[in-house]
């Protein structure tokens, strides 16, 4: 019985809107902004800080500084008490919260590596949403971004995600073997939502 749905997405593909609609149709809890809120609460930091580091690696200069800090005498003394709100710290907390959400069941989890943390759980269905570059730019412009901003975001955000997935999970993004369904969102949100629901139903009857 499927109790958890993860939705990984290309930036600008509409994956978040689709996840919201699927969660509403199923009557399940949506873990998207809520996940960011819980991570920030656990790490005792601002949500904006978490949003800047989710699904991204830390810059090289910061990784080097962090290695120095952790290797120093003061760092070793403070390490057990540190709640690091960097990419590593956020990733570890994210895994805990994603696992907790999955254990509760009846939820839709958007990105944050959830498909990779939960890929061995039989009660979980994994979906990847993608779209042509031009369509992603159009969607981003509809949210208020300028064309220049939309193009830059569409070009760079997924590069960060790919680097994050490569570093922490050792796979090329998106790894097709992790997903039950990969859907082009240009068919329209409602069509994609129905395809996901139909996919879950079909998979449960296998």
Whether the Cβ atoms of residue 54 and residue 40 lie closer than 8 Å to each other? no
Tokens for 8, please give them. 């990984």
- Domain total in the chain: 1
Residue 192, pLDDT > 80, answer yes
Among 40-49, 113-122, 171-180, whose mean pLDDT is lowest?
Answer: 40-49
16: CATH = 3.40.50.300
pLDDT, tens digit (0-9, with 9 covering 90-100), for 147-188: 999 999 999 889 888 888 898 899 999 999 999 999 999 999
Tokens for 153, please give them. 């975001």
Percent of the chain with pLDDT over 70: 80
Which CA distances in Å does 125 have to 7, 14, 34, 150, 151?
A: 9, 19, 20, 30, 31
**What's the CA dihedral at 84, 85, 86, 89 to 10 degrees?**
60
Can you give the residue range of the structural domain that contains 144? Answer: 4-204
Which residue did the predictor score with more confidence, 155 or 39?
A: 155
Summary mean pLDDT of the chain: 84
Tokens for 28, please give them. 């399940």
Which CA distances in Å does 103 have to 6, 116, 171?
A: 13, 15, 25
Rounded average pLDDT over 125-131:
98
Q: CA–CA separation, 7 vs 204, rounded Å?
A: 18
Reference 24, options 201, 196, 202; nearest CA is 196
pLDDT, tens digit (0-9, with 9 covering 90-100), for 58-91: 444 444 434 433 443 433 344 444 445 567 777 8
Q: What's the confidence (pLDDT) of residue 51?
A: 64
pLDDT band at 23; cut points 50, 70, 90: very high
Q: What's the confidence (pLDDT) of residue 75?
A: 38
Q: What's the confidence (pLDDT) of residue 35?
A: 85
**What's the CA dihedral at 168, 120, 2, 181 to 10 degrees?**
60
Q: What's the confidence (pLDDT) of residue 67?
A: 40
């Amino acid at each position: 019985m499927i109790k958890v749905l993860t939705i990984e997405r290309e930036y600008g593909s509409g994956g978040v809107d689709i996840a919201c609609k699927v969660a509403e149709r199923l009557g399940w809890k949506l873990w998207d902004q809520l996940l960011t809120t819980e991570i920030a609460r656990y790490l005792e930091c601002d949500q904006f800080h978490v949003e800047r580091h989710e699904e991204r690696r830390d810059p090289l200069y910061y990784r080097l500084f962090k290695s120095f800090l952790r290797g120093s005498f003061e760092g070793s003394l403070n390490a057990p008490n540190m709640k690091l709100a960097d990419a590593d710290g956020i990733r570890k907390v994210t895994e805990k919260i994603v696992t907790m959400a999955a254990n509760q069941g009846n939820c839709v989890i958007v990105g944050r590596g959830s498909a990779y943390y939960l890929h061995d759980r039989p009660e979980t269905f994994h979906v990847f949403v993608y779209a042509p570059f031009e369509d992603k730019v159009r969607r981003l412009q509809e949210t208020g971004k300028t064309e220049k901003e939309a193009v830059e975001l569409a070009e760079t955000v997924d590069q960060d995600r790919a680097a994050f997935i490569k570093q922490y999970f050792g796979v090329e993004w998106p790894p097709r073997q992790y997903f039950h369904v990969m859907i082009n969102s240009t068919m329209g949100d409602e069509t994609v939502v129905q395809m996901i629901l139909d996919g879950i139903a079909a998979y449960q009857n296998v």
